[in-house]
Amino acid sequence: GPLEEMTLPLYFGWFLVSAVQDNVRCTAMDFLKTLDTLEVFKKHLNEFTGKAEKEVDLEQYFKAKGTLHCTTKFCDYGKANGAKEYAEKQAVTDFYGSAFELSLSALFVTPRTVGARVSLTEEQLLLWPDDAEKEAESVVPAAASLPLGSRAHVTLGCAEGVEAVQTGFDLLEILALQQAGQQGEVAEEMELGTLAYFGEGRWLLSLREPMRIPAFFSSFYG
Ligand code: ACK
């Protein structure tokens, strides 16, 4: 019945504690503010606007998408493949409500999304679905050959009309290029780290110091 179906959440994931959400948002905003002033970024601006515009305000371009989190399993209230199996996994029930420290190792920007890459520990990988990367194969063909956890991210913002699910695809695309031997063109040494360009409006800032962020493993019902 409908009540039973409601017992599964929209998704499981790590939720950044609210006190640090602003920290992460500010860091991302500062990065965007700097990025859109860089000559190397302006050179590729048409990949964002589709026109030969001279400027784009990236802080306006991307819209925030609710509470900051790293999705482990999108369950869609039980309608998604493997939702029930995931919810019943030993690690999921054991760790539900537990505190973790997430390592945000990079920021990335594409014409569609801005996000943070999350580098998962062995323990955190116990909560990662085996098929999370494979599920992205129809969008990013090389995704299935990437290591488990490659898709882990925090969505920081999406362009108008873009859904948050896109952020993980954008990250996988960049990682697939890296795996294929493309390290990106080093564009700029920034205070936060090294900025590399991967073509088609894709930028990756590898953080010199990963951000270590407290987060709780839980679920979201909406
Ligand atoms: O930024 P995200 O990881 O992308 O967090 C949101 C969250 O679930 C609520 O929408 C993610 N999401 C949406 N659809 C999917 C999907 N088909 N597969 C994986 N994650 C998804 C979205």
Alpha-carbon span 185 to 102, nearest angstrom: 28
Q: From 14, 74, 162, 163, give the residue whose CB has the most ligand 1 atoms within 8 Å, as the site to mutate.
A: 74
Are 156 and 25 in contact, with CB atoms under 8 Å apart? yes
How far does the centroid of ligand 1 lie from the alpha carbon of residue 200, in Å?
Answer: 23
How far does the centroid of ligand 1 lie from the alpha carbon of residue 37, in Å?
Answer: 31
Is residue 5 scored above 80 in pLDDT?
A: no
Q: Is 69 a catalytic residue?
A: yes
Q: Is 61 in the pocket of ligand 1 (CB under 6 A)?
A: no
Alpha-carbon span 13 to 3, nearest angstrom: 22
Are 75 and 12 in contact, with CB atoms under 8 Å apart? yes
Alpha-carbon span 214 to 103, nearest angstrom: 9
Tell me, what's the pLDDT at 171? Answer: 98
Confidence band, pLDDT 50/70/90 cuts, at residue 6: low
- Among candidate residues 41, 153, 169, 193, the one labeled active-site is 153
Name the H helices within 50-159: 58-61, 83-88, 90-95, 122-125
The residue among 4 and 56 whose pLDDT is bigger is: 56
What pTM was computed for the model? 0.96
Q: Is 44 a catalytic residue?
A: no
Q: Is 13 in the pocket of ligand 1 (CB under 6 A)?
A: no
